[in-house]
Chain A
Amino acid sequence: MAQWTLASTREAYGKALLELGREDPRIVVLGADLNKSTQTVHFAKAFPERFFDVGIAEANMMSIAAGLASAGKIPFCSTFTVFGVCRAYDQLRISIAQPALNVKVVCSHAGIITGEDGMSAHGIEDLALVLALPTFTVVAPCDAPETVSAVRAIARHPGPCYMRVYRPATPVVHTNGSPFVLGKAEVLRPGTDATIIACGSMVPWALEAALLLDGQGISCRVVNVHTLRPLDEDAILRCARETGAIVTAEEHLVYGGLGALVAQTLARTCPVPVEMVGLTRYAESGTPQHLLEKYGLTPRHIAQAVQRAVARKG
């Protein structure tokens, strides 16, 4: 594996939220007894009057946030993805999505790299579930710098927004700052034979896969789709037309996540071979590295998927 500098996306979130709190008095933050883990504790210390810990009651948190938003506040709700999305899904739907209120849901501990806590703690359904709520903007930043940019972007963007971050520190892709624009895919690496479309924690592995493929004579483009809604369909179609094969990579179930979105887009206008790297089952306890290896989410697995996609090109 390449040498990466590691940084924590949830710490980046916590710091960005603190800065936002200084700049905009409308920002309020809600937590559900996981404020150290989600890093909202920094905001809580600086602005105790604008911070509401509701205890272990995620449903209550989401509906309270909706009420705050209806009265002009910009609430950020944070807990783990499995609780914020799965536990409080009805509240996301009724209290937030249907009236399209200006609530920001930022959940940590996404993906299987949450690790040793096991399958109950692995947030691998969140993107599909939130994407099923049509008024939600959905963002999955790929590293700490992009997380900072994304937090600022969703705070400015009116309406419901969802963002996921991770428990362990992850590789820093944007060592010279993040050019994040909400809804605009970012081409990280040029290539002509295939495109890897990745989001979140899979983006650095996609870059490593492209390096592996260089050695095999396959020129592979890498695109970071940090915004799943609104999806940059133009960028995806351009990659399909120009490289003729697409591989998606996400630390999420392949059911209803990035791969499904990309395939849906391509099927309509530019059906090229698509391979999906993602999860198809629940994982288990283990270290992040052991889990990524066992469940097929490493650079090697992505590179193999690219080979399959390229082999299918007509």
Chain B
Amino acid sequence: MATTAGSKVASPWPQVTPTPLYQPNGRPDIPTLERIARIIRRDIVQMTALAGSGHPGGSLSAVEILVTLYFCVMRHNPSDPSWPDRDRFILSKAHACPVLYAVLARCGYFPVEELATFRRINSRLQGHAHIMTPGVEFSGGSLGQGLSFGIGCALAGRLDNRPYRVYVLLGDGECDEGQVWEGAMAASHYKVDNLTVILDRNRIQNDRFTSEAMELEPLAEKWRAFGWAVQEVDGHSFPALLDALEGARQVKGRPSIIIAHTVKGRGVSFMENNPDFHGRAPTPQELAQALKELGDEG
């Protein structure tokens, strides 16, 4: 019998769950958000290293986006994941689930120590996001479907006069998929304005840079041409993301998208802008280096 994957790396999480970082009625200040982002990044590299596989690059690029949504913007209740009026977050690029699991755990949806079970047998933390995990809204793993799913959630909310908003995180490479543009047309046609897409523009897909695999530019113009309100921001800047998300909320009569310019692998020098870390976990040595660079939790 082989040893379990990544068993050379010990679980870094305590057996006693720390107090969730999420404050339902408070908006953390920027230094606190930065501290949370650092904790999430440490979780991501440790989770993937421990599993011996996974997708750290596109998780690290989306940290500030998810932290802004879950800790500042979205109305949600970690102790009641199926609250009908909750805002919904759809991780269309479901391979980036390490960032989602870390954020959900740190919000209190499930114990932080459960992150050590990522990708293991009998775990609720699947290799691609699945609704079996408390707080996960969408089961993915084949790109291009999350925007359409989000449109469905948003239309249902509109039919029932519910106040919730739907946020969909798309990958940039994901925009190669034709269904993304079917969804872009439909959201515009049905004037779905309780929906915001955030596009993680980290410029790298599985094999190589997006410009080499399939040119996406002019990307903002494409979305504008499909009838969307488009904003472009620094996807690692909390103030910029907060402004853009508020701006998107003000848009009426059409859907809105925030193209968040990010760096794949952000926060770890040897992962940054490196296609190799789209779908490869850090080795124990690389993990040690990554944690050193990220700094401690405090």
A residues with CB within 8 A of B: 28, 49-50, 52, 54-55, 57, 59-60, 62-73, 75, 90-91, 93-95, 98-99
Determine whether the beta carbon of B157 is less than 8 Å from that of A54.
Answer: no
Q: How far is the CB of B88 from chain A (nearest CB, A)?
A: 8
Determine whether the beta carbon of B186 is less than 8 Å from that of A67.
Answer: no
Contacts A64-B186, A90-B142; A95 near B155 (Cβ below 8 A): no
Contacts A52-B155, A57-B186, A73-B159; A64 near B149 (Cβ below 8 A): yes
Cβ–Cβ < 8 Å partners of B178 in chain A? 59
Of B145, B159, B183, the most chain A CB neighbours within 10 A belong to B145
Q: Which residue of B lies closest to A67 (CB)?
A: B152
Determine whether the beta carbon of A67 is less than 8 Å from that of B149.
Answer: yes
Determine whether the beta carbon of B131 is less than 8 Å from that of A71.
Answer: no
Q: Which residue of B lies closest to A72 (CB)?
A: B156
Cβ–Cβ < 8 Å partners of B153 in chain A? 67-68, 70-71
Bitwise, B139-167 to A at CB < 8 A (1) or not (0) is 11110111011111111110110000000
Q: Which residue of A lies closest to B90 (CB)?
A: A67
B interface residue count range (under 10 / 10 to 19 / 20 to 34 / 35 or more):
20 to 34
Contacts A64-B151, A68-B152, A70-B153; A98 near B130 (Cβ below 8 A): yes
Other than A65-B152, A66-B148, A68-B153, give 12 A-B pairs with Cβ distance below 8 A: A49-B159, A52-B190, A59-B144, A59-B145, A60-B179, A63-B183, A64-B149, A67-B150, A71-B156, A72-B156, A75-B152, A91-B145
Determine whether the beta carbon of B155 is less than 8 Å from that of A59.
Answer: no
Q: How far is the CB of A170 from chain B (nearest CB, A)?
A: 33
Bitwise, B63-100 to A at CB < 8 A (1) or not (0) is 00000000000000000000010000000000000000
Complex: A90 Cα to B142 Cα, angstroms: 8
Determine whether the beta carbon of A94 is less than 8 Å from that of B141.
Answer: yes
Determine whether the beta carbon of B190 is less than 8 Å from that of A67.
Answer: no
Complex: A73 Cα to B152 Cα, angstroms: 10
Q: What are 27 contact pairs spanning A and B, CB under 8 A?
A: A28-B159, A52-B190, A54-B182, A55-B182, A55-B186, A57-B179, A57-B182, A57-B185, A59-B144, A59-B182, A60-B182, A60-B183, A62-B148, A63-B146, A64-B151, A66-B148, A66-B149, A66-B152, A67-B152, A69-B152, A70-B149, A70-B153, A71-B84, A72-B84, A94-B139, A98-B130, A99-B131
Complex: A211 Cα to B21 Cα, angstroms: 74
Cβ–Cβ < 8 Å partners of A64 in chain B? 148-149, 151-152, 155, 183, 186
Cβ–Cβ < 8 Å partners of B185 in chain A? 55, 57
B137 at the interface (CB under 8 A from A): yes
Cβ–Cβ < 8 Å partners of A71 in chain B? 84, 152-153, 156-157, 160
Determine whether the beta carbon of B148 is less than 8 Å from that of A98.
Answer: no
Q: Which residue of A lies closest to B92 (CB)?
A: A63
Cβ–Cβ < 8 Å partners of B159 in chain A? 28, 49-50, 73
Contacts A57-B182, A73-B159; A99 near B139 (Cβ below 8 A): yes
Q: Which residue of A lies closest to B156 (CB)?
A: A71
Of B131, B154, B179, B185, the most chain A CB neighbours within 10 A belong to B179
Q: How far is the CB of A251 from chain B (nearest CB, A)?
A: 30
